[in-house]
Structure 1
C-alpha cells in the first residue's frame, strides 16, 4: 500500500489525456477556448503507460481517464485497452461529455471499463446549450440512455451554478427513481480558465441537499465509502442514488486517495495546487524507472494536508486554471 505524509493511502490516479474539448462550458473555459498546447508538449500514450505501470507497482490500483474531453484524442480506446492490461490496475473508469460515437460504449464494455461518469449539467436542451455554448443536447442524451442500458456503472456529474441550472436539481434527482444511475451534484469551483471572475459560492453541498429535501423530505442518507468524493443519498424506493461533491467546501480532504497527471505530465497531488512537477521533462531528460519511482515517492511525501493548505502554497496568478488543463 502507498501512503502520503499524512498517512492517507494513495490508490487512485486521474489521468488527463488531453486538454482539448469540443464544448465550451462557461464554468471551465472562455467561449473562444484556451491556448492549446502543441502536440509535443503533451504526453504520448507510451509515456503515460510507462508512468501508470510504475505507479501500479507502487500501489495505485484505479485509473480514471479525464480531459478536456478524452474522446477528442485519437486512438483513445486502444490506449484504454492497454491500460486495463497493466498488472495491478483493478479499475479503469472514464469521464466524458457524451459527444463520442455511441459505438464507444460497446467497445468500453468489451475492454472491461468499470464505470463512466457523464458530464451533464442540464437535462433541459435550452439550458444545456447556454451552459456548453454548443447545441449537442440530443447527442449527449442519447449517449446517456444507451449508457443506462449498458453493463457500465453510470454516473452523471452536474456542476451546480446559481444563475444557470438550479432548475435542474429536482428533475435530475427524479431520474434516479427509475434509472440505475448516480446523479452527483458538484459545488462550482474557481477553475474556469479565466472565463469569468469568481466569488464564494452560495450553493454549497448543504444547500443542495436541503433543496432536494423540499421535494423528497424522506431522503435517506447512505453509507459513504471511506475515500468517497461525495456524500450520498437515496430517494426511498429509487433504483439510483444522489451524491453531492463538496469540491469547493473541501470537507472530504482528510480521506483523499487521489493524484492527478495533467496532459503535459505534471503531477498534481492536490487539485488546488498551482503547478506540479513535470514528469514529461523528467522522462525526456533520461530518467530511469528507478529515478521516476523515487521522485514519485518524494512528492507523495510532501503532499498538502488539504485543499486550503494547498491553495495557500500556490503562486498568485490573477486567474484560475481550467479544469481542462488540470485534468477534470
Structure 2
C-alpha cells in the first residue's frame, strides 16, 4: 500500500480528464478564459487506464473523475465503464457542473457510480450567470433532479464568496431540508488564473456562523477520518450541510489523496507544483515497475500540509483550477 513520509495511507486518486470547461466561473479562471491545451498534450484514455491499473496495484481503491468538466471530453462513459472493470477499484466518484450530465445519469447508475458531486453556487438564475458567466442553471437543476430520481448519493459543492453569493447560503442550505443531499460550502482558493483575492474570502467559520443564525439547531456530526468537510445536521432536515476549509487547510493531517492533472502532472497536494509528469514517463516507454518507483519516490517526499507545499513552490499560486482538477 502507498504510505507517505508522514505515515498516511494513500488510497484515493483524483483524476482530471480534461482542462476544458463549458462554464467560466470567475473564481476558477479569468474573464478571458485560459488557453486550453492541444489534445496530444493531454493523457489519452488508454494512458489514464494504465495509470489507474498501476495505482490500484499499489493500494488505490477510490477514483474521482474531475476536470475541467468531465463531460466535455468525448468518450467519457466508455472510459468510466473500463475503470469499473479495473481490479482493486472499489469506488468511482464524479465531480461535474451538471450542464451536460443529465442524459448520462441512468447509465452512471447502471455502472455503479458511488456518488456525484454537483457544483452549484446559486439557485438564483441571474446570480448563477454572474458567477459562471453562462446561463445554464436550468440544465444543472435538471441534472440535480435526475440524480435524485436515480437514488445516487449526491453532494452539492458551492464556493462561497463575500459580496458575491453570500446571500445564497440559506437557499442552498434548504436543498437539504427536503432532499437527502449533502450541501457543502467551500472556501474560495487562489486557483483562478490570477491568484488570491482577499476581498472575496469567506472563512468556513463565518459560513457556519451565518447558518447558525438561521438554524440554531445546527449541530456537528461525526466525520470520516479522511473527510475534507466539517459536517452538520439541522433538525428535521433529510440531508446535511458541511463546510470545506479549502484555503484554511484544516484537514491536511489526514489527507489520503493524490492528483493527476489532464497533462499527467502528479500532485501529492493541491497546492504543490506537480514536479513529476507521468505522461512523459509513459511516452518514454518506462515499464510498469519503473513508473511505480517514480510514484513511490514522489509520495515519500510529500509535504506535511498545504501550507508547506505552497511554501516549497517556485512561484505563487495563480494557475486555474480547471488545469488541476477540482
Place the TM-score, normalised by the shorter chain, in its bin. Answer: over 0.9
- Could you tell me whether the CA contact under 8 Å between 2:71 and 2:101 is conserved in 1? no
> Cα deviations across residues 205-255 of structure 1 (Å, max 9, x unaligned)?
111001000011110210000000100001112110101000000010000
In the other structure, the counterpart of 2:80 is 80
Provide the C-alpha distance between the structure 2 equivalents of 1:218 and 1:273, rounded to a whole number of angstroms.
39
Provide the C-alpha distance between the structure 2 equivalents of 1:173 and 1:324, rounded to a whole number of angstroms.
26
In the other structure, the counterpart of 1:299 is 298
TM-score (norm 2): 0.98
SS of the equivalent of 1:242 reads strand
In the other structure, the counterpart of 2:323 is 325
Provide the C-alpha distance between the structure 1 equivalents of 2:97 and 2:201, rounded to a whole number of angstroms.
26
- Could you tell me whether the CA contact under 8 Å between 1:275 and 1:314 is conserved in 2? no
Segments of 5+ residues of structure 1 without an aligned counterpart are: none
What's the RMSD between the two structures over aligned residues?
Answer: 1.2
Q: 2:206 aligned with 1:203, yes or no? A: no
Aligned length: 326
Q: 2:127 aligned with 1:133, yes or no? A: no
TM-score (norm 1): 0.97
SS of the equivalent of 1:63 reads strand
Provide the C-alpha distance between the structure 2 equivalents of 1:15 and 1:73, rounded to a whole number of angstroms.
13
Segments of 5+ residues of structure 2 without an aligned counterpart are: none
- Could you tell me whether the CA contact under 8 Å between 2:12 and 2:60 is conserved in 1? yes
Q: Which moved more, 1:16-25 or 1:140-149?
A: 140-149
In the other structure, the counterpart of 1:240 is 239
Deviation for aligned residue 1:101: 4.6
Provide the C-alpha distance between the structure 2 equivalents of 1:19 and 1:111, rounded to a whole number of angstroms.
24
In the other structure, the counterpart of 1:18 is 18
In the other structure, the counterpart of 1:213 is 212
In the other structure, the counterpart of 2:260 is 261
Provide the C-alpha distance between the structure 2 equivalents of 1:133 and 1:210, rounded to a whole number of angstroms.
29
In the other structure, the counterpart of 2:100 is 100
> Cα deviations across residues 129-179 of structure 1 (Å, max 9, x unaligned)?
000000111111111112122121111000001121011111111111110
In the other structure, the counterpart of 1:63 is 63
SS of the equivalent of 2:88 reads coil
Task: Kindly report which structure 2 residues correspond to 1:19-58, keeping only aligned pairs within 5 A, or say none.
Answer: 19-58=19-58
Hey, which bits of structure 1, 4+ residues long, moved more than 6 A?
A: none
